Amino acid sequence: IFFGFIAVSIGITTIPVILSLTVKYDLPISWVALIAALIVMAFTQWTQFALDLTRLRFAPWSFLVLSLASRVTISILGIIAVVILDFGVDGFLGAQALGLILLFPLTLFVMRRDIKIENWDWKWAKKLLNFGHPFVYVGLAYWLFASTDRWMLAAMNSLEEVGIYSVASR
- Note the pLDDT tens digit of each residue in 104-138: 999 999 888 877 777 678 888 889 888 888 888 88
In the prediction, which pLDDT does 120 show?
74
**Residues of the chain with confidence (pLDDT) below 70:** 119
In the prediction, which pLDDT does 51 show?
92
pTM of the model: 0.69
Buried/exposed 75-98: b ≥16 CB within 10 Å, e otherwise:
eebbeebbeeeebebbbbbbbbbb
What is the dihedral sign for C-alpha 22, 27, 28, 29? Answer: negative
In the prediction, which pLDDT does 67 show?
93
- CA-CA-CA-CA torsion for 110, 12, 85, 24, nearest 10 degrees? -150
